[in-house]
Amino acid sequence: MRGLFSGHTKCLLVQTKFSGFSFWNYQAVCEIVGAKYPAAPLGLMTVAALLPQHWIFRLIDENVEPLLDDHLKWADIICTGGMLPQQKSMLDFIRRAHDFHRIVVVGGPDPTSQPDVYLEADFLVLGEGEISIPMFLNDLQKWAKSGGYFSEEKANMLKAVVPRYDLINFRNYLMVGLQYIRGCPFNCEFCDIIELYGRIPRFKSNEQVIKELQSLYDLGYRGHIDIVDDNFIGNKKKVKSLLLELKTWTKNHRYPFYFSTEASNLSTWLIYMRSFFRVCNIAGFNAATGEEAYYARMMGNNHRLIRIENK
């Protein structure tokens, strides 16, 4: 552990496999367009950006490539995390990493929701990483060998970092994620977002979103960006302001991306969006709103897509 924080630590980030029965496994569709998996691991790319930048990072996504023993031997410390459909693969991975006597750090939605399941990990870094990762790093400087970190405090999204998009191969994925908001003002019975992120929406600034788009653009990415917010229009006024800047940026950059997102309780706000963009195809909204038929009549039977392009 000596020098692990301050030295050129080799940090391996591992996205373990999603269950084959989960929403995130429509791989046959991916193969049609030459991709290997639907979505890139945005959470781990964000974790990499929150860790010391003098560390050396490698990201392996088991959904697109095998995790080799040589990867584990290379690492000084290993970070993983994920959702409920990854629980079994995460637990198997922790044991495999320990077979190589590697330090394992675990976080993410499922470990935060049920940390007792993940007690085999050396470090549990729970809640929002912007709050708990500095707590973990503070102990790591003191040569801690294990620990658990959690705070009810919510992150200030105006201080959010740009994810380390450079750690992935864009060709492996149908889409790349971008987060704009955390928290949701609604109380849908099926959703745990308010338990994880609270009822008060917290936003990045327009400048931060544009900075992330510019980062992707500069890295050579073109194509589908999924705005991963669980309710993109948690604050309609702020979203309208963002869309104005987004329209200008995409036009000035010759429309390099198209966008998808999730939203609920839209009502007539869809009419604004459709008139705002030259092309705006939207569907796949939360059926719990009871307005599904209304959206279908108003927007047509289009897939869950907001597309911005030059027509």
Say how far apart CA 88 and CA 90 lie, in whole Å: 5
Question: φ and ψ at 27, to 5 degrees?
Answer: -70, -25
Beta bridge partners of 203: 181
> Using one digit for the tens of pLDDT, what is the confidence trace for 73-119?
999 999 999 999 999 999 999 999 999 999 999 999 999 999 999 99
**Could you tell me which of 277, 278, 279, 283 has the C-alpha nearest to residue 305?**
283
Q: Which two tokens stand for residue 150?
A: 């959690």
Say how far apart CA 34 and CA 296 lie, in whole Å: 30
More confident residue, 216 or 31: 216
Q: Is 10-149 assigned to CATH 3.40.50?
A: yes
Q: Are 99 and 123 in contact (CB under 8 A)?
A: no
Q: Which two tokens stand for residue 103?
A: 């330090």
* Burial of residue 36 (number of CB atoms within 10 Å: 0-12, 13-18, 19+): middle
pLDDT class for 284, splitting at 50, 70, 90?
very low
| Domain definitions of the chain by residue range | 10-149, 179-299
Task: Write out the H or E segment, with its range, that includes residue 210.
Answer: helix 206-218
pLDDT above 60: residue 287: no
DSSP 142-185: TT-S-EEE--SPPP-GGGPPPP-GGGS-GGGEEEEEE--EE--S
Average pLDDT value over all residues in the chain = 85
Predicted TM-score (pTM) of this structure: 0.86
What confidence score (pLDDT) does residue 286 get? Answer: 39
Task: Write out the H or E segment, with its range, that includes residue 56.
Answer: strand 56-61
> Using one digit for the tens of pLDDT, what is the confidence trace for 213-247?
999 999 999 999 999 987 787 777 888 899 889 98
pLDDT above 50: residue 122: yes
| Pick among 3.40.30.10, 3.30.750.210, 1.20.140.10, 3.20.20.70: CATH of 179-299 | 3.30.750.210
More confident residue, 206 or 299: 206
**Could you tell me which of 108, 98, 88 has the C-alpha nearest to residue 46?**
108
- Residue carrying the six token digits 């040569």: 143
DSSP 270-289: HHHHHHHSSS-------GGG
Say how far apart CA 255 and CA 247 lie, in whole Å: 9
pLDDT class for 265, splitting at 50, 70, 90?
low
